[in-house]
């Protein structure tokens, strides 16, 4: 897993090879089994994650039904809302696959930023990109049809469709699994 992280750091010109090795050596890398709940509703947490390998899902349980709000995959950062808000979580975060994650907290990040100031700039840029992506996704959810949302997801991340159970994908798109099945069949006939 260290090789994957080193390759990511090198590919994105985040730091020198020597600094990258230092960062990897410092990184608190942990593995989690498929199905592991990283965060539960009502739980307080200080942990933030960076995915090296695997897929995570954020979801709410409303009236006994799971409502998926996000999927996270390799080389994405996950900062649960409850961490910044310093409040109990209102949702769940689970591993859809076996996962390898960097698990950190604000104090740990501050120490890393002091040692590697350029990393703070990179993280700020990544945060801005994530915010823009989330705003775009929210806007599209409000104005696009389920078919348009599905096609956009398929174009943006075709591998995700194969990694995620259909009922969770349907929930993410805001439709029932039956509607998603009909939509996929209709598109296949085109």
CATH class of 2-112: mainly beta
| pLDDT, tens only, 23-73 | 778 788 999 999 999 999 999 999 999 999 999 999 999 999 999 999 999
Domains of the chain, by residue range, sit at 2-112
Does this model's pTM top 0.85? My answer is yes
**113 to 81, 120, 122, 131: CA distances (angstroms):** 21, 5, 10, 21
Cα–Cα distance between 51 and 43 in angstroms, integer? 21
| pLDDT, tens only, 71-89 | 999 989 999 999 999 999 9
């Amino acid at each position: 897993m260290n090789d994957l992280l080193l390759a990511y750091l090198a590919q994105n010109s985040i730091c020198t090879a020597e600094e990258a090795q230092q960062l990897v050596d410092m990184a608190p890398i942990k593995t989690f089994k498929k199905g592991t709940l990283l965060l539960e509703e009502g739980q307080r947490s200080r942990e933030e994650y960076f995915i090296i390998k695997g897929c995570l899902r954020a979801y709410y349980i409303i009236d006994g039904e799971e409502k998926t709000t996000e999927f996270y995959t390799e080389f994405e950062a996950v900062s649960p809302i409850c961490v910044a808000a310093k409040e109990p979580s209102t949702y769940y975060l689970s591993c859809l696959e076996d996962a390898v994650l960097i698990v950190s907290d604000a104090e740990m990040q501050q120490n890393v930023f002091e040692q590697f100031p350029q990393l703070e700039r990179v993280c700020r840029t990544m945060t801005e990109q994530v915010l823009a992506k989330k705003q775009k996704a929210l806007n599209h959810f409000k104005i696009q049809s389920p078919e348009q949302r599905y096609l956009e997801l398929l174009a943006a991340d075709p591998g995700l469709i194969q990694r995620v159970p259909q009922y969770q994908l349907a929930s993410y798109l805001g439709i029932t699994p039956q509607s998603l099945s009909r939509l996929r069949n209709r598109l296949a006939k085109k």
